[in-house]
């Protein structure tokens, strides 16, 4: 560690000790959980925390329990040295820096072990019913159980006053808010806007899997969401079937490129599926698609991308 590098704490006991010192000096603690391979989306949340808290803790942990056995746990991009260097270079307007990185090992976070097969997982896990089954949850059945469990564990260790999540994973923020409310955790949850590349593609660590041509084509995702939003705002189109067709048609700009998992309109609070958007309430339009990592090398596999826009109420 160079002198300007921020400390990296790898044990639960080490982080608890650090947290104790913050209590002693009555410091307000902001926390940003991440899986690392940081980009400007993560950094926007971190900068918010630097503005709003005395202390900012960032965790980097690729959480096994939110990956299905068929998913990309092993190949998920990791580069802790690069992440720490990046975090060390960030300061806010008052020269404040990230206070520490919490980068625990899997055995620190799951002392009893964590097999990927859910049927073999024993012990305590957190399930948030009602908002975990639809959308991402219908394609990835134990995903939010993994997310809620690890965020609960991280909250227990870091004990933040405020925690920051991105709208990029909008269902995750709904699940976490519900967990915090129902389990009386007393932590403020702040949701930050989606940070996008100039093309409009939402930043994601998984974009690293894509060739530049695939990245360019994937920018159509956001364009398709904006077209539907425009029809909602300007043409007063509230019919979900018709709005969905607008999204599909735009994605068809590149026939066969997008393999659509879902295009969905859901209530902003309950995530209930809608057939018509209530203009007094608005909705979440979200989608998940798989795209080829490299169209010229189909054997290089595909990447699943998600994105969303929130339709604001347009009537009183
Ligand atoms: P991850 O490392 O992918 O688990 O993300 C950590 C946090 O960063 C989550 O709360 C994400 O929603 C958030 N995040 C990821 N991508 C973006 C983005 N493009 N803009 C804003 N926040 C993001």
Rounded mean pLDDT, 152-179 = 98
pLDDT at position 92, please?
A: 84
Whether pLDDT at 316 is above 80: no
b/e code 122-156 from CB counts within 10 Å (16+ = b) = eeebbebeebbebbbbeebebbbbbbbbbbbbbbe
Tell me what pLDDT residue 3 has: 45
112 and 244 in contact (C-beta within 8 Å)? no
pLDDT tens profile 249-269: 999 999 999 999 999 999 999
- pLDDT above 90: percentage of residues in the chain: 96
Q: Which atom of ligand 1 is nearest to the CA of 168?
A: 12
* Binding pocket residue ranges, ligand 1, CB within 6 Å: 34-35, 41-42, 44-45, 165-166, 168-169, 192, 194-195, 202-205
Residue of minimum CA distance from atom 10 in ligand 1:
165
Ligand 1 binding pocket mutation candidate from 33, 40, 42 (most atoms within 8 A of CB): 42
pLDDT in the model for residue 247: 98
| pLDDT, averaged across the chain | 96
Q: Are 88 and 97 within 8 A, CB to CB?
A: yes
Tell me, in angstroms, the distance from the centre of ligand 1 to residue 197's CA. 14
Which neighbouring-strand residues pair with 262? 288
If you take atom 8 of ligand 1, which residue's CA is the nearest one? 42
pLDDT at 315 > cutoff 90: no
Residues serving a catalytic function are 42
User: pTM score, two decimals?
Assistant: 0.97
Look at residue 130 and tell me whether its pLDDT is greater than 70: yes
Arithmetic mean of pLDDT, 75-102: 94
Q: Which atom of ligand 1 is nearest to the CA of 166?
A: 12
* Sign of torsion over alpha carbons 276, 170, 174, 63: positive
Apex 223 CA angle, 222 and 224, nearest 5: 90
**CB 169: neighbour CB atoms within 10 A?**
19
The mean pLDDT value for 290-294 works out to: 98
Q: Which atom of ligand 1 is nearest to the CA of 202?
A: 19
Q: What's the 315 CA to ligand 1 centre distance in angstroms?
A: 31
Give the residue whose CA is nearest to atom 12 of ligand 1.
Answer: 166
Q: Inform me whether the pLDDT recorded for 2 exceeds 60.
A: no
CA distances from 19 to 25, 26, 62, 146, 305 (A): 10, 10, 22, 24, 36
Q: What percent of the chain has pLDDT over 70?
A: 99
């Amino acid at each position: 560690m160079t002198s300007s590098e921020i400390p990296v704490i790898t044990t639960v006991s080490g982080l608890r000790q650090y947290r104790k010192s913050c209590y002693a000096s009555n410091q307000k603690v902001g926390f940003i959980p991440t899986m690392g391979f940081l980009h400007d989306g993560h950094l926007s949340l971190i900068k918010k925390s630097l503005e709003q808290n005395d202390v900012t803790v960032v965790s980097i942990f690729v959480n096994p329990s939110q990956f299905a056995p068929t998913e990309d746990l092993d190949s998920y991009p990791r580069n802790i040295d690069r992440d720490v260097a990046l975090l060390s270079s960030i300061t806010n307007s008052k020269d404040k820096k990230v206070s520490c990185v919490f980068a625990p090992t899997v055995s620190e976070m799951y002392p009893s072990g964590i097999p990927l097969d859910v049927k073999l997982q024993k012990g305590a896990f957190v399930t948030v019913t009602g908002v975990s089954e639809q959308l991402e949850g219908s394609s990835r059945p134990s995903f939010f159980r993994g997310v809620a469990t690890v965020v609960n564990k991280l909250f227990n260790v870091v004990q933040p006053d405020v925690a920051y999540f991105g709208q990029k994973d909008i269902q995750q923020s709904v699940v976490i808010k519900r967990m915090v409310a129902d389990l009386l955790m007393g932590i403020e949850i702040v949701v930050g806007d989606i940070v996008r590349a100039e093309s409009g593609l939402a930043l994601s660590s998984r974009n690293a899997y894509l060739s530049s041509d695939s990245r360019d084509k994937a920018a159509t995702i956001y364009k398709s969401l904006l077209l539907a939003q425009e029809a909602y705002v300007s043409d007063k189109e509230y019919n979900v079937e018709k709005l969905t067709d607008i999204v599909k048609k735009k994605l068809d700009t590149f026939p066969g490129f997008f393999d659509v998992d879902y295009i969905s309109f859901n209530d902003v609070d309950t995530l209930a599926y809608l057939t018509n958007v209530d203009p007094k309430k608005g909705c979440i339009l979200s989608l998940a698609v798989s795209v080829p990592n490299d169209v010229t090398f189909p054997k290089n596999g595909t990447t699943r991308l998600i994105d969303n826009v929130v339709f604001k109420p347009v009537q009183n």
